[in-house]
Every structure is written in structure tokens, then in C-alpha cells.
Amino acid sequence: MSSPRRRIETDVMKMLMSDYDVKLVNDSMQEFHVLFHGPEETPFAGGVWRIHVELPDQYPYKSPSIGFLNKIFHPNIDELSGSVCLDVINQTWSPMYDMVNIFETFLPQLLRYPNPADPLNGEAAALLLREPKTYEHKVRDYVRRFATKEMAEAAVADEEEEPEEEEEEEEEDDDMEDYRYDDEAPGHLEL
């Protein structure tokens, strides 16, 4: 049986040699982005998403982490974080699967057959159940507004900027620690 490290390298090389646009993050074989196109004959057709993939050290014995970087409206994908709720990835993952399976089978199936009974996006699930035509209209609107190749590229840039923003917020919080409340003058901060 091959080691997890060798399997990671093999699966990532398969992805790099496939027709998918794959970019390694920090030259790491365990973290990369894949350009994913919405399946034809679905409301997601024509959409382009940048998918963030992280392979755990125990891969393929432990499932990869998958997330959409640009916005998508789907019951099983968290709109804010892009996290995917996909049974095959999360609970029934098997070492027999590889990364190509995820992009050729699992994600297209998820977009074709959403499961509103197990939602990460309650609004999308409720809309799909109660007003399927309105749901399709909203999905197409999101595709038009957020799922272009330009938006997918911008999503990568946004993800790379996030740590800097968090550091700035931490610095602001640290600055606030330099202030103390003045009991003598309620409502005022004093240095």
C-alpha cells in the first residue's frame, strides 16, 4: 500500500495533467485551486468557480476539504464561507476516490441534484422546495453576477488578502487595549 504522501503527489499530478486549470497555493501539493465550470443543462451552466482544495496529511484515508471561493447559491453550499456539504466528501469518502472524481462526478452531481433536506444555505433550500422557478432564477442571477472567470480570479486575490485584513483588525484591537475607561467621566476613554 502506498504512503499518503505518494498518493497526494499522484492525485495532484493527475489534476495538473488534466484539462482542469489547477494552481498550487504556495507550491504545496496539499493546497490548490481548481477552475470549475457549472454542468450543462442546469441553472449553473456557464458559471465558473474557483474551488479551494486542501488535502489533509491522512489523505486519501481522510477526505479533502472543498470550498467555493466565489459566490454560489445552492442549498448544500454555505454562501458566506463556500463550504460544501457533500455526503461523499464528508462522510462516505473512500480511499478509492481521487481528486478527478470530485471534479468530474461529485461536484457536478451536487449541482444537478441539490439536497434541500441537508442544507448549509437555508434560504436556498426553502426556495428550492417552495418555489423551484424562483430558486432557478436566483441561481442564474448568481451565476451572471458572481460566477464569471473574472470573478473566479478575483476570488483568489480576495482569499490571499484575508490574512492581512485579519492582522490589521488585530492591530486595531491591540490599540484599543492602550485605552482605559475613565470612571470619573463616564462614556470617555482616557490614554
Give the active site residues: 85
| Sign of the alpha-carbon torsion through 8, 94, 49, 35 | positive
Amino acid identity of residue 167, one-letter, is E
Rounded Cα distance, 95 and 23, in Å: 23
Enumerate the β-bridge partners of residue 84.
77
Closest CA to 51 of 90, 13, 77, 87: 77
Closest CA to 107 of 22, 28, 35: 35
Rounded Cα distance, 97 and 102, in Å: 8
